[in-house]
Amino acid sequence: MTKRLCAGLTALLLLSVVCGVALGPVSVPFTDVVRFLKAAVVGDVIQAAEAGAYRIVWDIRLPRVLLAAVVGAGLSVVGVAIQAMVRNALADPYVLGISSGASVGATAVATMGLFASLGIYALSTAAFLSALIAMALVYLAARRGGLTPLRLVLTGTAMAYGFSAIAMLLVFQAPRGEAARAAMFWLLGSLGGVTWASLPAAAVTVVAGTVYLRTRAKQLNAMSMGDETATTLGVDVTRTRKTLFVVTAAMTGVLVAVSGAVGFVGLMLPHLVRLVVGADHRRVLTIAPLAGACFLIWVDVAARLLAAPEELPLGVITAALGVPCFVFLMRGRGYVFGGK
């Protein structure tokens, strides 16, 4: 079943990429999209009259769609790992406070012009650096007395409130209304302005992190049953949790730096995947990235189309989809959240 589902989702992902490139305020026929992509790969000649459409496909939409796939896959994988690591079905990639930490750097760029010399890379650089600082602060605060699930969740939540307060203060004191609007738009998640340069670091991080977490599937299975059970199964719980914390926090920091805080993906997708393939993390970590990639591509398409020519923040759409889905899971599938 897992192999068939994986093959089906892979085909759906390829179709979603083509559709994501074709659909937008300015539609491009599917046949032209395929032809342009082929021309870019093999070096075919494009007619001068098609240069504008080619640029839309290759320079603007394709990197955006691919980054949507990478971010969706990464958030889904991180959500799976964190829910097992802290044994909390309500955990998501942002529960450790990394996203709120990144928001401080991004907001400082939007409202104060921090790192202005870096140009288009200023926001992602500042967001990533502040995410690393947040990760270090959470780790240092939580490690005293042992890096237990409860300490991680409580420390991450407390830090998140503090970082969010700082970000909101920066927005409140922004001298220009447009700067505050840009900061708020980023805080809700956006893939606007994505270029090819935004893709490699995020893609490499997600692929490497997913491969690593997939090799730790057995440890995640054990930890999801509790520390005592995991210890009896030969898992060094403290060391494993430290490593998982660093890996998931680094992945979250990179993803938030390129896309902002896209909510509900890392919370909702892991549960939906478990409903289909069961709780074994070897299967979940195989299916979750494909499902997350497909999901966020279509969310991004909706963000571009629903209010065209304006663009909606991704977080608005994921929340609109995630809240009813979450309520449905709680009402109809109580066992997913640890039992009725």
For the beta carbon of residue 135, count every other beta carbon within 10 angstroms: 24
Q: Residue 340: pLDDT above 70?
A: no
Distance from chain centroid for Cα 301: 16
Q: Where are the beta strands (DSSP E) in the chain?
A: none
Nearest to 36 by CA among 25, 47, 26: 47
Average pLDDT of the residues in 73-92: 90
The Cα 247–Cα 214 span in angstroms is 12
The answer for residues whose C-beta is within 8 angstroms of residue 237's C-beta and 6 or more apart is: 223, 227, 230, 231
Average pLDDT over residues 327-338: 59
| Predicted pLDDT at 336 | 46
Contact criterion met (CB below 8 Å) for 111 and 173: yes
Q: Which CATH superfamily is 2-337 part of? A: ABC transporter involved in vitamin B12 uptake, BtuC (1.10.3470.10)
The span from the CA of 55 to the CA of 254, in Å, is: 27
Domain boundaries, the chain: 2-337
Distance in angstroms (rounded) separating the CA atoms of residues 148 and 242: 10
Paired tokens of 207: 């692929």
Q: Residue type for 223, please? A: M
Would the pTM count as exceeding 0.75?
Answer: yes
Say if residue 44's pLDDT is above 90. no
Number of helical H runs and strand E runs in the chain:
15, 0
**Position 162 pLDDT exceeds 90:** yes
